[in-house]
């Protein structure tokens, strides 16, 4: 049985709190657990055990939260603000280097791969 919540399809065997945390950007483990306890679901309840009113309750709670595109936009705006004001973190983002104090002599490949697009020189305002 497949359950649909806000346009996402969930397999029936998935645990509710784990499925919510993995499918929605902006919903982590603690938020999913808080949501499930608020709605009265026991911790290991699975998707196929949900009734239609319970699915509607989950949908209404998730629609009141900042998730998916809105959460991504907030993160993007925060990074753009750091670049604009010229903070250290903003400079690291603009140069495509690790932001949180990781070493760069070795092992900075991931940050450079992620930030490779559009990095020619240091520009804070974009």
What domains appear along the chain, each with residue ranges and CATH number?
Answer: 1-64 (1.10.8.50), 68-112 (4.10.910.10)
**Residue 51, pLDDT score:** 94
Q: What is the DSSP string of the chain?
A: -EEEETTEEEETTSBHHHHHHHHSTT--HHHHHHHHHHHT--TT-BGGG--HHHHHHHHHHHHTS--THHHHHHHHHHHHHHHHHT-HHHHHHHHT--SSS--SSS--HHHHHHT-TT-SS--S--
Q: How does pLDDT run across 81-113, given as a tens digit for each residue?
A: 999 999 999 999 998 888 998 888 887 777 777
Give pLDDT tens digits along the chain (126 positions).
899 999 999 999 999 999 999 999 999 999 999 999 999 999 899 999 999 999 999 999 999 999 999 999 999 999 999 999 999 999 999 988 889 988 888 877 777 776 665 555 555 555
pTM: 0.75
């Amino acid at each position: 049985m497949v359950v649909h919540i806000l346009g996402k399809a969930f397999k029936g065997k998935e645990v509710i709190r784990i499925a919510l945390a993995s499918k929605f950007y902006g919903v982590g483990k603690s938020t999913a657990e808080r949501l499930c306890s608020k709605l009265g679901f026991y911790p290991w309840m699975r998707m196929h055990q949900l009734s239609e009113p319970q699915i509607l309750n989950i949908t209404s709670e998730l629609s009141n939260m900042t998730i998916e595109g809105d959460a991504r936009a907030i993160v993007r705006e925060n990074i753009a603000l750091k670049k604009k004001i010229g903070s250290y973190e903003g400079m690291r983002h603009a140069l495509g280097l690790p932001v949180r104090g990781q070493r760069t002599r070795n092992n900075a490949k991931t940050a450079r791969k992620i930030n490779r697009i559009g990095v020619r020189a240091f520009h804070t305002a974009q």
